[in-house]
């Protein structure tokens, strides 16, 4: 490695020395000024623009030939309209690209410096300027109108009988949810998320389970705090002072009335309690179970308990209510189906995706369906598509038996952002129904 660095340094120094020599040669020795561009240079630089034009246009055409079919045909209905719009826009843009760049490069060559010529004094021309304000305006008006038409069609409300699928993002994977037999999604609440209830679906069971989990955590933390040595010792001293006030008589502050009250009017029962507590502390300290914790760690745990209690409070505030036909809101989610790593869609159906996020922004990107929507914590978003090509047909079209539609994350969300994918399978309604009925029902894995 050191050798390499040395080598690079040496080569660098030689390069700099050579450059300096070229520099000297090209400027000083020929004795002309830097600002005087020689005829040879003018010719060369002018011609290079033409060469550059051919290279740029040539490689552009080559890229269009080779990469112009950038994606397989759209597998969604609105995607066909989008592709068409893209086609028109690309065509227009490419034509303008060629024409305008050609003008720039050709003029740079054609009107290169000639000491026998004087430039044409042409400061303005209202007619020309109006032309190239009006023509772009008209072209842009067409683009806007056409574009917004497509936009409003694809973003309009989904129809009532569309299939609704929820896609849920978290660092770093996706979960899909389908409504169960009642055709309704159970409502969700992020406070209820547990390993068994990853989407936080609100059901009686979910609530009980989440509360249980919080109680567990609080209890465990409390246990840890009660055996902290420093605090036990401090409490011990305080108890002893309360029980035997004479010990510190000389130092006590007589000005405090309540202090006096405390030891004069202590009831027998209270005193017994304190003595029991003192004995317990001494037992603990002698047992060797007491642990030592830094103040910071102790406070962090206290803080955590505080937050857990707030969390518990938020869950307790959840209210049950009735949804149509006397259905209990907390029952609705019981039959929701939860799917990981691969989800299926029926062909020819309108599908409304509902996106939610657990932690940070993600973006549900399904390039083959020309669909993309951010997932935002606290703010469900939507996107509707209509499937048009099954996975099998697409495999035939592309002559690629391994082809799969894919959902990927397209908003940077952390270190594994680049690997947050889910396979999408489009199939007939029957296949889809069969697949769905096999999927796990909410909390199925609990036993």
58 binds other proteins (CB under 8 A): no
For other proteins, the closer of residues 45 and 242 by Cβ is 45
Strand order of the sheet with strand 342-346? 342-346, 421-427, 405-409, 362-366, 371-375
| C-alpha angle 303-308-314 in degrees, rounded to nearest 5 | 130
372 contact choice in other proteins, Cu ion, none (CB below 5 to 8 Å, kind-dependent) = other proteins
Q: What residue has token string 């000083």?
A: 28
CA distance linking residue 430 with residue 347, whole number of Å: 10
187 binds other proteins (CB under 8 A): no
Return the number of other C-beta atoms located less than 10 Å from residue 360's C-beta: 16
3-state secondary structure of 90: helix
301 binds other proteins (CB under 8 A): no
Near other proteins by CB under 8 A: residue from 140, 280, 300, 316: 140
Minimum Å distance from CB 113 to other proteins? Answer: 5
Q: Quick one: which segment of 110-118, 228-236, 250-258, 439-447 binds other proteins (CB under 8 A)?
A: 110-118
For other proteins, the closer of residues 344 and 384 by Cβ is 384
Minimum Å distance from CB 198 to Cu ion? Answer: 18
127 binds other proteins (CB under 8 A): no
270 binds other proteins (CB under 8 A): no
Q: Do 331 and 321 form a contact (C-beta atoms < 8 A)?
A: no
Minimum Å distance from CB 412 to Cu ion? Answer: 6
CA distance linking residue 392 with residue 399, whole number of Å: 10
CA distance linking residue 124 with residue 226, whole number of Å: 87
Phi, psi at residue 42, to the nearest 5°? -60, -45
For Cu ion, the closer of residues 151 and 365 by Cβ is 365
User: Is the peptide bond preceding residue 107 cis, with omega within 30 degrees of 0?
Assistant: no
For other proteins, the closer of residues 98 and 229 by Cβ is 98
297 binds other proteins (CB under 8 A): no
89 binds other proteins (CB under 8 A): yes
Number of residues that bind other proteins (CB under 8 A): 124
119 binds other proteins (CB under 8 A): yes
Q: Do 344 and 351 form a contact (C-beta atoms < 8 A)?
A: no
CA distance linking residue 290 with residue 225, whole number of Å: 10
| Positions in 302-361 near other proteins (CB under 8 A) | 307, 310-311, 314, 355, 358-361
Determine the angle formed by the axes of helices 229-243 and 268-287, rounding to 10 degrees. Answer: 150
| C-alpha angle 375-381-383 in degrees, rounded to nearest 5 | 105
Q: For the chain, what is the radius of gyration of the CA atoms? A: 38
Q: What residue has token string 């030689």?
A: 14
CA distance linking residue 335 with residue 99, whole number of Å: 61
| Positions in 364-383 near other proteins (CB under 8 A) | 365, 367-368, 370-374, 376-379, 381-382
Minimum Å distance from CB 217 to other proteins? Answer: 10
List, in sequence order, every beta strand (DSSP E) within 196-285. Answer: none
Note the Cα 116 to chain centre separation in Å.
63
98 binds other proteins (CB under 8 A): no
For Cu ion, the closer of residues 169 and 388 by Cβ is 169
| Positions in 145-174 near other proteins (CB under 8 A) | 147-148, 150-152, 154-155, 171
CA distance linking residue 365 with residue 176, whole number of Å: 14
How far is CA 394 from each of CA 281, 333, 400, 403, 432, rounded to the nearest angstrom? 73, 34, 8, 8, 17
279 binds other proteins (CB under 8 A): no
Cα–Cα nearest to 71, from 411, 371, 358: 371
For other proteins, the closer of residues 154 and 332 by Cβ is 154
10 contact choice in other proteins, Cu ion, none (CB below 5 to 8 Å, kind-dependent) = none
46 contact choice in Cu ion, other proteins, none (CB below 5 to 8 Å, kind-dependent) = other proteins
268 binds other proteins (CB under 8 A): no
Q: Quick one: which segment of 105-113, 294-302, 327-335, 433-441 binds other proteins (CB under 8 A)?
A: 105-113
444 binds other proteins (CB under 8 A): no
| Positions in 393-422 near other proteins (CB under 8 A) | 402-404, 406, 408-419, 421
Q: Which residues contribute to the site for Cu ion (CB under 5 A)?
A: 362, 409, 413, 417
114 binds other proteins (CB under 8 A): yes
203 contact choice in Cu ion, other proteins, none (CB below 5 to 8 Å, kind-dependent) = none
């Amino acid at each position: 490695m050191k050798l390499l660095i040395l080598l690079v340094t040496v080569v660098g120094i030689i390069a700099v020395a050579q450059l300096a020599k070229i520099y000297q040669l090209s400027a000083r020795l020929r004795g002309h000024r830097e600002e005087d561009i020689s005829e040879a240079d003018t010719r060369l630089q002018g011609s290079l623009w033409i060469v550059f034009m051919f290279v740029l246009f040539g490689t552009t055409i080559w890229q269009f030939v080779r990469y112009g079919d950038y994606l397989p045909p759209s597998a969604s209905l609105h995607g066909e309209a989008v592709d068409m719009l893209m086609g028109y826009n690309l065509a227009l843009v490419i034509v303008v690209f060629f024409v305008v760049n050609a003008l720039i490069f050709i003029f740079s060559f054609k009107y290169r410096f000639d000491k026998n010529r004087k430039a044409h004094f042409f400061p303005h021309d209202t007619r020309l300027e109006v032309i190239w304000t009006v023509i772009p305006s008209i072209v842009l008006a067409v683009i806007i109108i056409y574009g917004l038409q497509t936009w409003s069609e694809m973003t309009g409300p989904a129809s009532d009988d569309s299939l609704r699928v929820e896609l849920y993002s978290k660092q770093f994977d996706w979960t899909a949810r389908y409504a169960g037999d009642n055709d309704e999604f159970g409502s969700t609440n992020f406070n209820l998320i547990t390993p068994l209830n990853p989407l936080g679906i609100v059901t009686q069971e979910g609530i009980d389970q989440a509360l249980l989990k919080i109680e567990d955590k609080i209890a465990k933390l409390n246990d840890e705090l009660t055996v902290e040595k420093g605090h036990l010792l401090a409490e011990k001293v305080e108890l002893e002072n309360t029980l035997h006030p004479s010990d510190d008589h000389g130092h006590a502050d007589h000005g405090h009335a309540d202090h006096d009250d405390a030891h004069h009017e202590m009831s027998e029962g209270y005193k017994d309690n304190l003595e029991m507590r003192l004995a317990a502390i001494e037992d603990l300290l002698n047992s060797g179970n007491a642990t030592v914790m830094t103040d910071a760690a102790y406070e962090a745990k206290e803080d955590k308990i505080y937050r857990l209690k707030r969390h518990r409070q938020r869950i307790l505030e959840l209210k049950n209510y009735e949804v149509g036909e006397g259905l209990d809101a907390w029952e609705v989610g019981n039959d929701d189906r939860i799917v990981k790593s691969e989800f299926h869609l029926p062909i020819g159906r309108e599908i409304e995706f509902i996106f939610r996020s657990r932690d940070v922004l993600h973006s549900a990107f399904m390039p083959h369906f020309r669909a993309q929507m951010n997932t935002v914590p606290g703010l469900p978003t939507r996107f509707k598509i209509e499937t048009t090509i099954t996975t099998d047909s697409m495999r035939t079209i592309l002559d690629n038996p391994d082809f799969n539609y894919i959902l990927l994350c397209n908003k940077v969300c952390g270190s594994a952002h680049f690997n947050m994918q889910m396979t999408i399978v489009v199939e007939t309604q029957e296949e889809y129904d069969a697949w769905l009925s096999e999927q796990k029902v909410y909390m199925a894995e609990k036993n």
